[in-house]
A and B are shown apart, each in its own frame.
Chain A
Amino acid sequence: GIQVEQSPPDLILQEGANSTLRCNFSDSVNNLQWFHQNPWGQLINLFYIPSGTKQNGRLSATTVATERYSLLYISSSQTTDSGVYFCAVDRNAGNMLTFGGGTRLMVKP
């Protein structure tokens, strides 16, 4: 099956700092999503981005499908950004998602 690798596995930031999270995948994909799992365990949709670039407030994402990677940018980080960020992909049109291992982010005040 498809392999999804996220880096870095852990990240500690001071409030206000910027960061870039990376997701590499081993095959072409039909779907790609970024999620934030908050400290209460809830999975929050950030981006649906099988290709191209999107922005939502302080967050933006870029997927370069031909090179099999996606980047999530967090600017001016806040303590509420803490949690685990997951990239998930699907090769086919069925949304059977394969998740990466996640990046655990801690933002310190």
Chain B
Amino acid sequence: DAGITQSPRHKVTETGTPVTLRCHQTENHRYMYWYRQDPGHGLRLIHYSYGVKDTDKGEVSDGYSVSRSKTEDFLLTLESATSSQTSVYFCAISGTGNTEAFFGQGTRLTVV
């Protein structure tokens, strides 16, 4: 299995609070990604990183920010959580842009 750890695995938070999800990899892969999975929408890309301090927006980036200060860590922050951000969040990694991507086990976030 690819060495990807997401934390926390489950979280319940209140509307308006900040939340940070962490993705940690031990593969020294260059690319890292955050996706969300919702019923009826499959998985959608939120943000991605192609190197330390190099990040860009994906399809559904509104309300989210990311940071990557080290190769192994990619953080996803919800500055002020809303109920529409209740979802399952997956982190993924890939060594290059032309090899397969591997996914972490997901974080289930509930905003009440």
Q: Which of B44-52, B64-72, B75-83 contacts A (4 or more CB under 8 A)?
A: B44-52
CB neighbours (8 Å) of B88 from chain A are 41
CB B31 to nearest CB in A, in angstroms, measures 6
- Digitize B82-93: 1 where CB-to-A-CB distance is under 8 Å, 0 elsewhere: 000000101010
Task: Say yes or no for B25: interface residue by CB 8 A criterion.
Answer: no
Interchain CB contact under 8 A, B43 and A95: no
CB neighbours (8 Å) of B62 from chain A are none
CB A33 to nearest CB in B, in angstroms, measures 6
Interchain CB contact under 8 A, B42 and A86: yes
Interchain CB contact under 8 A, B43 and A88: yes
Q: B-side interface residues toward A, CB under 8 Å?
A: 31, 33, 35, 40, 42-45, 48, 50, 58-59, 88, 90, 92, 94, 96-103, 105-106
Complex-state Cα separation, A80 to B40, whole angstroms = 23
Interchain CB contact under 8 A, B43 and A1: no
Closest 4 CB pairs of A and B: A48-B100, A93-B97, A43-B103, A99-B42
* Interface residues of A, count at CB 8 A: 24
Residues of A61-109 at the interface with B, using a CB-CB cut-off of 8 Å, are: 86, 88, 90, 92-102
| Residue from B31, B35, B42, B59 within 8 A of A94 (CB atoms) | B31
Task: Say yes or no for A56: interface residue by CB 8 A criterion.
Answer: no
Closest A residue to B43 by beta carbon equals A99
